């Protein structure tokens, strides 16, 4: 299979000579991201714990964004989405993103409402 | 090259020669499956998020649940699961190297990389089994109240968790486990915990330094004090009366000795470890989702290992060498990377966030 591989990552910032080299490069990057996550998870810097954005701790935002970054590189370089046609890539990526964003939005809002019912309503559940 | 061959057609648009996605049938179907599987996992994780937001003030803190590393004693939150993540990512790398070797028709390289991938997957599944075992066994034990809330014990002098086995007194009594054969045939009594509630309560009374840690995560008390809502102010008064570590925002509330004594009156049973019905670490739903989601993922890894083995033997037999291409390796590779991808999310939402 004479597939052509695109060998640059970080929008062309880092170019590799061969596909194998690119794979190792991505591994190093994923390991660094995981290490950062673990270190942050152990240290838990106060600044990131006590400041929130959209009702969630900054630390959790960082974790979620780093996770999406990792997911991007796994899908793009390990699953070769970078080499697929744009149409296929978009069909694969945007379908779940749209549906999941929608579902998560609805469920988390509803859950927050239920939380408030438990908190302020006439329901005893902590006994 | 592809498994579907358009026979007799001219390679023009109306003759079936149009390939808008530029991928073979098999690969497209694998992607089709992966997208739907991704939605399944997303549904499970979203349901987990729902339950967590619903019980946001009492959800267990992962750092206090997964603290063990095999063969090592001590408190090491996150270390082992980070290692598992690393193993899975590395097995993903060997898989993609196998795919790459397949593109270059290097049979021996494919064999070796597939072999390493299978080993990595097996280590991961084994680690997960160990993780489950540790979680099911539990470590300190706790008591459960009428409302299904969990009360854990802390030594107020050292500030460390106290295991019920360490302070519970032994009371001589007959404790009979209800079994199917000596009772109602369709009803099997739950296994008895190592200590009865009476023994735990007696041990608690005898040991003045033991206090209770509740499930509640402490709010920012200063912010609550500044509130106009009378309910918030009542909450502040309640917390100031009962809680010893009142300024520890984000920590689980540790009660004073007096509050602990009265709280223990609510206890109805002893809980050791976690299962689908009880969970000594806190909310039962946490254990339920943990078992379901990591179990579903572990099932994927297991089937991935099995499929990898089938392809591995096919490679050894030279099936793909004869076929002229290694696209099957690429297709199982997609599945394997997907399993890795899902784990990245499970790792974040169960262990980090």
Q: What is the pLDDT of residue A1?
A: 39
Task: State yes or no: pLDDT of B194 exceeds 60.
Answer: yes
Decide if B117 contacts B244 (C-beta within 8 A). Answer: no
B39 vs A110: CB contact, 8 Å cut-off? no
* Greater model confidence, B64 or B107: B107
Residue of B nearest to A61 (CA): B353
Least confident of B30-39, B168-177, B296-305: B168-177
* Residues A51 and A97 both lie in one domain: no
**Is residue B82 less than 8 Å (CB to CB) from chain A?**
yes
Residue of B nearest to A116 (CA): B54
* Residues A21 and A55 both lie in one domain: yes
Decide if B315 contacts B107 (C-beta within 8 A). Answer: yes
**Is residue B39 less than 8 Å (CB to CB) from chain A?**
yes
Task: State yes or no: pLDDT of B39 exceeds 70.
Answer: yes
Helix (H) or strand (E) segment spanning residue B152: strand B150-155
Decide if B55 contacts B284 (C-beta within 8 A). Answer: no
Q: Is the dihedral of CA B126, B118, B86, B282 positive or negative?
A: negative
Q: Tens of pLDDT along B68-120? A: 888 888 888 888 999 999 999 999 999 999 999 999 999 999 999 999 999 99
Least confident of A88-102, B105-119, B211-225, B296-310: B211-225
Task: Quote the minimal CA–CA distance from B138 to chain A in Å.
Answer: 22
Q: What is the pLDDT of residue A26?
A: 93
* Residues A17 and A59 both lie in one domain: yes
Would strands B252-254 and B210-217 be described as parallel, antiparallel, or unpaired? antiparallel
Least confident of A13-17, B23-27, B67-71, B200-204: A13-17
pLDDT class for A3, splitting at 50, 70, 90?
low
Percent of chain B scored above 70 by pLDDT? 96
Can you tell me the mean pLDDT for B178-196?
A: 77
Q: What is the pLDDT of residue B88?
A: 94
Maximum CA extent, chain A: 68
* Residues A23 and A68 both lie in one domain: yes
Q: What is the pLDDT of residue B10?
A: 56
pLDDT class for B8, splitting at 50, 70, 90?
low
Q: What is the pLDDT of residue A2?
A: 41
* Residues A38 and A52 both lie in one domain: yes
Q: Rounded distance, CA B105 to CA A17, Å?
A: 19
DSSP-derived secondary structure for B218-240: P--HHHHHT---HHHHHHHHHHH
Minimal CA–CA distance to A14: which of A73, A71, A70, A56?
A73
* Residues A54 and A32 both lie in one domain: yes
**Is residue B47 less than 8 Å (CB to CB) from chain A?**
yes
This complex has an ipTM of 0.91
A85 vs B23: CB contact, 8 Å cut-off? yes
* Greater model confidence, B323 or B73: B323
Q: What is the pLDDT of residue A35?
A: 92
Residue of B nearest to A49 (CA): B250
Q: What is the pLDDT of residue B185?
A: 76
* Residues A10 and A45 both lie in one domain: yes
**Hey, is A3 helix, strand or coil?**
coil
Q: Rounded distance, CA B66 to CA B68, Å?
A: 6
Percent of chain B scored above 90 by pLDDT? 61
* Residues A18 and A62 both lie in one domain: yes
Decide if B273 contacts B39 (C-beta within 8 A). Answer: no
List CB contacts (< 8 A) between B77 and chain A. 41-42
Q: Kindly give, in sequence order, each residue whose CB lies less than 8 Å from that of residue B206, ignoring residues fewer than 6 positions away.
A: B167, B169
Residue B43 has, within 13 A of its CA and on its CB side, a CA count of 7
Can you tell me the mean pLDDT for A29-34?
A: 93
**Is residue B117 less than 8 Å (CB to CB) from chain A?**
no
* Residues A13 and A31 both lie in one domain: yes
**Hey, is B254 helix, strand or coil?**
strand
Using CB atoms, pick whichever of B58, B250, B341 lies closest to residue A74: B341
Can you tell me the mean pLDDT for B1-17?
A: 61
Where in the sequence is the domain holding A27, given as residue range(s)?
Answer: 1-83
**Which residue(s) pair with B151 in the sheet?**
B143
* Residues A13 and A48 both lie in one domain: yes
* Greater model confidence, B177 or B260: B260
**Hey, is A53 helix, strand or coil?**
strand
* Residues A75 and A90 both lie in one domain: no
Q: Tens of pLDDT along B128-142? A: 999 999 999 998 999
List CB contacts (< 8 A) between A95 and chain B. 35
Residue of B nearest to A113 (CA): B54
Q: Tens of pLDDT along A42-98? A: 888 888 888 888 878 899 999 999 999 999 999 999 999 998 999 999 999 999 999
Task: State yes or no: pLDDT of B57 exceeds 70.
Answer: yes
Q: Tens of pLDDT along B241-290? A: 999 988 888 889 999 999 999 999 999 999 999 999 999 999 999 999 99
Q: What is the pLDDT of residue B191?
A: 73
Report the domain count for chain A: 2
List CB contacts (< 8 A) between A75 and chain B. 337, 341
* Residues A68 and A113 both lie in one domain: no
> Which domains does chain B possess?
42-138+287-352 (1.20.120.80), 142-172+179-271 (no CATH)
Q: What is the pLDDT of residue B4?
A: 55
Can you tell me the mean pLDDT for B8-26?
A: 76
Least confident of A19-28, B44-53, B146-155, B191-200: B191-200
Would strands B267-271 and B142-145 be described as parallel, antiparallel, or unpaired? antiparallel
Q: Rounded distance, CA A109 to CA B262, Å?
A: 36
Minimal CA–CA distance to B42: which of B347, B351, B345?
B345
Q: Where are the alpha helices (DSSP H) in chain A?
A: 19-43, 46-50, 58-73, 86-120
């Amino acid at each position: 299979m004479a597939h052509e591989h695109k060998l640059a990552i970080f929008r062309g910032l880092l170019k590799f000579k061969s596909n194998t080299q690119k794979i190792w490069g991505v591994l190093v990057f994923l390991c660094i991201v995981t290490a950062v996550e673990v270190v942050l998870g152990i240290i838990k810097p106060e600044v990131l714990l006590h400041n929130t954005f959209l009702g969630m701790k900054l630390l959790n935002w960082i974790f979620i964004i780093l996770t999406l970054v990792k997911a991007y590189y796994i899908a793009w370089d390990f699953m070769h989405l970078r080499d697929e046609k744009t149409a296929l890539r978009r069909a694969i990526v945007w379908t779940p993103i749209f549906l999941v964003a929608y579902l998560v939005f609805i469920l988390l809002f509803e859950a927050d409402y239920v939380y408030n019912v438990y908190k302020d309503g006439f329901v005893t559940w902590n006994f | 090259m592809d498994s579907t061959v358009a026979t007799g057609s001219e390679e023009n648009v109306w003759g079936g020669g149009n390939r808008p996605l530029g991928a073979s049938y098999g690969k497209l179907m694998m992607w089709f499956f992966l997208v739907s599987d991704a939605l399944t996992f997303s549904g499970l994780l979203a349901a987990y998020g729902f339950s967590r937001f619903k019980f946001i003030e009492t959800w267990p803190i992962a750092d206090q649940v997964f603290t063990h590393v095999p063969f090592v004693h001590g408190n090491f939150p996150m270390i082992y699961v980070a290692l598992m993540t690393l193993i899975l990512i590395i097995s993903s790398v060997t898989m993609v190297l196998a795919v790459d070797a397949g593109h270059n028709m290097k049979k021996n390289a494919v064999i070796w990389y597939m072999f390493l991938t299978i080993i990595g997957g097996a280590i991961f599944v084994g680690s997960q089994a160990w993780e489950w075992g540790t979680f099911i066994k539990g470590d300190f034990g706790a008591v459960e109240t009428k409302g299904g809330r969990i009360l854990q014990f802390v030594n107020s002098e050292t500030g460390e968790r106290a295991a019920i086995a360490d302070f519970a007194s032994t009371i001589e009594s007959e404790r009979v486990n209800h079994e199917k054969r000596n009772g109602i045939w369709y009803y099997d009594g739950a296994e008895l915990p190592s200590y009865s509630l009476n023994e735990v309560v007696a041990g608690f009374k005898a040991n003045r330094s033991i206090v209770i840690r509740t499930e509640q995560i402490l709010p920012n008390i200063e912010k609550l004090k500044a509130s106009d809502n009378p309910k918030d102010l009542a909450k502040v008064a309640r917390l100031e009366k009962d809680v010893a570590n009142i300024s520890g925002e984000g920590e689980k509330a540790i009660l004073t000795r007096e509050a602990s004594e009265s709280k223990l009156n609510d206890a109805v049973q002893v809980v050791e470890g976690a299962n689908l019905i009880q969970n000594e670490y806190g909310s039962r739903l946490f254990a339920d989702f943990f078992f379901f989601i990591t179990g579903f993922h572990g099932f994927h890894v297991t089937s991935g290992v099995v499929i990898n083995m089938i392809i591995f033997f096919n490679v050894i037999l030279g099936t793909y060498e004869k076929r002229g291409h290694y696209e099957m390796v690429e297709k199982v590779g997609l599945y394997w990377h997907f399993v890795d991808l899902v784990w990245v999310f499970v790792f974040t939402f169960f262990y980090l966030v």
